[in-house]
Amino acid sequence: MRMNDTVDGIAERVRALLESGEGKERIGRFNKLAARVEKSIPTLMEMKKKLHQRARMQLYINVADAQHASDTQAVRMSVRVHGCKCGTVRVDSDGKRTFTPSNPGLFERYGYDEARGLEWGDAQVADFIKRCVEAVDKGEVKTGKPEASVEAKLIARMKLESGGWWCQKPVCLAGIPLQIPLPIAAAGPEPKLGDGHIDVLARLGRGGKGLRVYEIKAPRAGVETALDQAVGYMTALKVALTQTDTSAGPWWTLIGFSKRPKRTPRFEAVACVADNTKNREQLEKACKRLEAGNHENIVVGAVFYSYDASGRLRLRPRRTSPYL
């Protein structure tokens, strides 16, 4: 992103991309994807009822799988430990639940082959998942994606707490976390048309009427443009949600609204980064720079994470923005 970017500057470039011929074509494809997922939600909810979650694991779903649920009457869900995928479970309409282990390079030593193809309720599946959790806990397995662990713990924190700044819930599909897909990729030096996604999207307040985009960075990753990326993704989401025709409806359903609200939600873009002096200083500067031009009314801010002596993740929102 450009070093002198404001919210308005980023939003202007994102909107220009999405209003181009190719951009409109991409939005059209994403609109159809959102509509297919909307149609699949009732089937997904029935399938979710047939699964119980095991301790210290997370189920995730992506829209590529979710969109076919109503047609195939089957769907695959990702099984993760500390945010790292260790397997998938396929749920059929007849109640059959088949587990397939993943990531043999990381988890082959922990009963990988023994768990292959077994029913979700089988004790060997439970043992495999438990051993994967313990392997990551002990440092025997390095996932290579520490931001995935932060993402999982951030979502867990949202589900547990409901007061003050933490009055927010992660956007889920049939109760399962997912990353909202967007026709913009904002990770590079310039936003561009591509297959991007929001790391974590949350609904704010008791009624869930606000929206907060989180951009999560690994402990050693650069954070200079983390907020810029969050603003870029929030702008793309706003474009999708504010389409003047009926195309916006499935997007509102996808993020958990029963219908399009009469009032415009509160929009926030937040960077979630490691808690250290350098990052705090950079995020404070980024907030001031971005807010110098902000007619989009996107609130910007940060939440900082660290680990305590026992290795547990701690999350601290910091009021770098005057609005947070």
Domain that holds residue 96: 46-137
Amino acid symbol at 159: K
Q: Is residue 1 assigned to a domain?
A: no
Can you tell me the distance from the alpha carbon of 248 to that of 147, in angstroms, rounded to the nearest whole number? 31
Locate all alpha helices (DSSP H) within the chain, ordered by sequence.
7-19, 21-48, 63-66, 69-72, 104-107, 112-115, 123-137, 146-160, 226-241, 248-254, 277-291
Total tally of structural domains belonging to the chain: 2
At 148 the three-state DSSP class reads: helix
Residue 172 backbone class (left: φ over 0; alpha: ψ -120 to 50; beta: rest): beta
Q: How confident is the model at residue 215 (pLDDT cuts 50, 70, 90)?
A: very high
Query: Taking a C-beta distance cutoff of 8 angstroms, is the pair 201, 255 a contact?
Result: yes
Question: Residues 186-211: pLDDT tens digits?
Answer: 987 889 999 999 999 999 987 788 99
Same domain as 152, residue 131:
no
Taking only Cα atoms into account, the Rg of the chain, rounded to an integer number of angstroms, comes to 20
| Domain identity same for 150 and 286 | yes
- Residue 322 — pLDDT band, cuts 50, 70, 90? very low
Mean pLDDT, the chain, integer: 89
- pLDDT-derived band at 1, boundaries 50, 70, 90: low
Residues 100 and 204 placed together within one structural domain of the fold: no
Is the pTM for the entire model greater than 0.75? yes
Q: What is the DSSP string of 81-137?
A: ETTEEEEEEEEETTS-EEEEE--HHHHGGGTHHHHTT-BTT-HHHHHHHHHHHHHHH
59-116 pLDDT per residue, tens: 998 888 888 777 667 888 999 998 899 999 998 877 789 999 999 999 999 999 999 9
Q: Mark which of 137, 161, 187 sits at the end of a domain.
A: 137
Among the candidates 88, 117, 137, a domain finishes at 137
- For CA atoms 161, 167, 171, 174, the dihedral sign is positive
Region of poorest pLDDT, from 101-105, 202-206, 231-235, 319-323: 319-323
Q: Is 2 within the bounds of a domain? A: no
